[in-house]
Amino acid sequence: MREILIDLKALKENLQYIKAKAGVPVLAVVKADAYGHGLIQCAKAASEAGADYLGTALLEEAFTIREAGIKTPLLAWLNPPGLDFKKAVSQDIEIGVASLAAFDEVNAIAGAKIHLKVETGMGRNGFSDEWPELLNRDLSKVVGVMMHFARADEPNEIQNKNQIANFEARVSELKAKGINPIRHISNTAATLSNESAKYDMVRVGLAMYGMSPLGRDHNLKPIMKVRAKLVVVKELPAGHPIGYGATVITKEATKIGIVGVGYADGIPRNAVGAGVTFNGQSAPLIGRVSMDQIAVDLGSNTEAKSGDWVTVIGENYDIYDWAKACQTITYEITTRISGRIPRTYIES
């Protein structure tokens, strides 16, 4: 009674647009189940569209990609010590490290390819106080160096320039040791807004799925559409409470549709101001989101009936509308959409 449609043709077009705009190799980020869109299907589509690299946060995600037979160069970067790095090297997975302990484990493996993640101002994952000691290690297996912007979606913030300066200082120290690594620091926001940050490769996730952290970009097409059926359509009189806490009371007689999705499916409970689309008409949310269902106001003259499909994400209420309604970002919405909603992959 509900489904997610993933448009892989649109994904490929988005990636090709980004490749042309970037002008440098592109690492397609497919972490977090490809931002909720499906790891293997999106990794294959990105590879077919010309991704130069694939990128994941977790090594387990990278193993899944290799087990699916995808041969594209692959980097996994969120790695504590103690993981199965030998298996990763045997599968030609390049490994991001941010601590001496992890570096020493990976560096001891013949054939390893290491990307150093450096701290430049994000205050998160990356070499910082251990950096001077790292420079005394054998760095011959280092093939890349990376960082992450804290405020790339705020292009005019001085912190972006400061992070680049800090990054270039780290790169200079590596070059002084005879290492000339692939430099990659740009996420989607930086790729779209910061020419000085492209270096040797950009890492693009969000834009590939048709979204931009800078706001709607009509060159990008969101690839996810969420649909569900109306479980019940019924007329309620004026003055009738709706949902938990009776947070809404109908002002006039209207028809209410009960849609079979809720916060267990990833529709945030705090959503206010979003809704669904039926036959091109908007039907706003009314009352609180429940675990398995939402109520929408179809209007007194609607022709909707039980069993009809409505579009939850897409059409009149797109992913940006839902993010605004939930006071969050678009990719939190897509990554939290539950696996209990089946995904259907199309080439529109």
Report the relative pairing of strands 93-97 and 74-76 from DSSP bridges: parallel
pLDDT score at 288: 95
Give me 251's structure tokens: 């002002």
pLDDT score at 246: 93
Q: What mean pLDDT do residues 190-200 have?
A: 94
**Residue 348, pLDDT above cutoff 80:** no
Examine the residue annotation and report whether 225 is marked as an active-site residue of this protein.
no
Distance CA(101)–CA(344), nearest Å, equals 42
Proportion of the chain above pLDDT 90, given as a percent: 98
pLDDT score at 38: 97
Is there a contact between 37 and 209 (Cβ–Cβ < 8 Å)? Answer: yes
Choosing from 19, 31, 113, 198, the catalytic residue is: 31
Distance CA(185)–CA(55), nearest Å, equals 13
Q: What mean pLDDT do residues 249-263 have?
A: 96
pLDDT score at 220: 96
pLDDT score at 325: 96
Tell me the pLDDT band of 165, cut-offs 50, 70 and 90. very high
Choosing from 71, 161, 244, 305, the catalytic residue is: 244
Q: What is the mean pLDDT of the chain?
A: 96
pLDDT score at 1: 84
Distance CA(171)–CA(20), nearest Å, equals 26
Q: What mean pLDDT do residues 311-338 have?
A: 96
Examine the residue annotation and report whether 244 is marked as an active-site residue of this protein.
yes
**Residue pLDDT, tens place only, 23-80:** 999 999 999 999 999 999 999 999 999 999 999 999 999 999 999 999 999 999 999 9
What is the C-alpha radius of gyration for the chain, rounded to an integer number of angstroms?
23
**Residue 282, pLDDT above cutoff 90:** yes
